[in-house]
Each structure stands twice: as structure tokens, then as C-alpha cells.
Amino acid sequence: MIPLRDTIQSKTYPIIRNIIIGINVLVFLWQLAQGPYLKRILFLYGVVPIRYSDPGISGDFTILTQVVPFFSYMFLHGGFLHLLGNMWFLYIFGDNVEDRLGPSRFLAFYILSGIAAVSIHLATNWHSPLPTIGASGAIAGVMGAYFLLFPRSRVLTMVPIFFFPLLFELPAVFFLGYWVLIQFFYASVSHGQAGGVAWWAHIGGFIFGLVTVKLFFALPRIGISQKLAHSLQRRSTPRLQNIRPFKGEDLDIHGTIVITPREALLGARKFVSIPHRRRTVVVTIPPDIGDGTRLRLRGMGRSSPHGERGDLYLTVKITRMDS
């Protein structure tokens, strides 16, 4: 299952999430430039359990060089797909958690989730000689926080069946619950790092996020965080919207598309996922449109046994993102 987006858009622009993604991309490009020195870098800045469990090896490192990997490992990746998968999950789930915590608290939460995740990995793979790298432990913490904070959210999910992708809108608790069960399954049938994947780090990060995220609300927002939250208010709704249509008396069906006052004034283009058609279409919102205006998509309704097709009517709902 591949998540495409969730149904709850953050009210503020996720600046810390995007900075973290940018840093990970830059570090990966730096990794590509290291050539034959890359392996040495991964062992130096990744978390290698045996460096801490074997006194003969740990004696070759200073306290600083033993502490730094707990932070640096979460910005290193083993390949493009490793980077892409991690950053995509952070992109989908990170904005809402940052919106609730605020930029400064989200940054602290992300880093501590990564430290907690790799600590669990150390405890379960104490003598492993393999370096642990990747942001997945920290991102698992974000996913655990999302699981607790947004239980009513849904995740638009693509399931590729050969060359025909199917779209489903799944409850976030189901999607994330399934994800963490998969981590438990692979961790239980392996030694915790089968195929180079630190399964217990994923589990540890998820549990840390689930258990501790509410504690971060007790921390005060610093002044810069409050100013950022005010200045980074979103001005648009999601580009991809999943329509929950309801049937009319004939072949026509009806749904709602949500836009902001700015989009209503200037116009916008949205990608609309229509579940019963298993397809996504582009909808153009004309400028100066009013609340309650109906847009007609010909042939997107139900089909009759004789091949006739109804239309899909989308009612425009104008809403403020800070409401």
C-alpha cells in the first residue's frame, strides 16, 4: 500500500518538516560525491552497535565521536529508494504533527524520536557490526504521534494491481496500525535487522511518538515558534482531494470540493480522486467563484445498464484555513 496523502491539511506551512527533507536530500547528494570513502563515512556517522558493546572497539573512539552518530545517523540513507520512502512518509504525516506541536517542539520531538528509535535498536542488536542509518526511526515517531492525535483522519492509499492502480481511502488508524504490525512481524521472524532494515528501531520510534507526544504540549512555545505559526498560515487547500459522493435520484451524483477565499478569488486547479470511477481528474476552479457554486463534470456519475452515464456535481465550499 502506497499512501498518497491524508485528508487533514495543516493550517500552517510545515517549515521544519520541509527543512528536514531538504537536509536529508543535501546529505544524500553529499554521500553520492564520496565515492570510495562512503563506506567509511557510514561506519563513522552511522550507529554501529558493536562500537558501544565491545570495549576493545569503543576504546578507539572519543565520547564525542560516540555521541554524534545518535544524531547524524538519521540524515544518512542507503540509496535513493530508501531516501524517497522515508521522505514521502514524513511529507504525508509530518505537517499535521508539526501544526499541532509548533516548529520548535516538532523539531525537538523529531530528534528525540530518532534517538529513542536507535536506542531500542542498540538494545535489541547489541553486538551487530552493521551500521544503522536512515530517518525511518524518527519518522516512525511522527507516525506514532499522528496515530494518537488524528484518529479520525483518513489516508488516500494506492494499491498497484499489475498496471492498474486502485485508490482507497483508509482510516489512518488502520493504515498506521497495519504498518506497525508489519514491523512487529518482520522483527519477530528476524534478528531485528533482516535485509538491513532496523525493524525494532521502527517499533521503538512509533511507540515513543505514541506515548510521549502529549508530553510535548506541556513545553512552552518559544517566541519565534509563535511568530512562525502566525506567518506560515496556509492559503490553499490540498491539490489532491478525494471526493465522497452521494447519489441523487437519477444517475447523477454529488460531492463537495473545498477551496480557500484566495483560491475562490484567483481561481485554482485541483486533482479530484473519484472513488467509484477509480480515477483522478483535473478540475479547474474559475476566478471569482462563490460559495455554493456547483461545478459539473460530465459523464462522471453512475452508469445505467444501457450505457447511459450521469454527471458529477461538485458544490464549492469556501473555508478559511485558520478557522
Q: What are the residue boundaries of the structural domains of the chain, listed by start?
A: 2-231, 240-318
- CB 24 within 8 Å of CB 134: no
- Determine the pLDDT at residue 175: 93
pTM: 0.77
- Determine the pLDDT at residue 193: 56
C-alpha pair distances (Å), 100 with each of 96, 212, 221, 226, 267:
6, 14, 11, 12, 29
Q: What is the CATH number of domain 2-231?
A: 1.20.1540.10
* Non-local CB neighbours of 171 within 8 Å, separated by 6+ positions: 152, 153, 154, 155
- CB count within 10 Å of CB 105 equals 22
pLDDT one digit per residue (tens) for the chain, 323 residues: 788 888 887 878 899 999 999 999 999 999 999 999 999 999 999 999 999 999 989 888 899 999 999 999 999 999 999 999 999 999 999 999 999 999 999 999 999 999 999 999 999 888 889 999 999 999 999 999 999 999 889 898 888 777 777 777 889 999 999 999 999 888 887 765 555 578 899 999 999 999 999 999 887 765 555 555 555 666 677 777 777 777 766 788 888 888 888 888 888 888 887 766 667 788 889 999 999 999 988 888 888 888 788 888 899 998 876 55
Do 2-231 and 240-318 have matching folds?
no
CATH class of 240-318: mainly beta
Rounded Cα distance, 312 and 185, in Å = 43
Nearest to 105 by CA among 16, 197, 167: 16
Rounded Cα distance, 222 and 218, in Å = 12
Q: Order of strands across the sheet with 312-318?
A: 246-247, 253-259, 312-318, 294-297
Rounded Cα distance, 61 and 50, in Å = 12
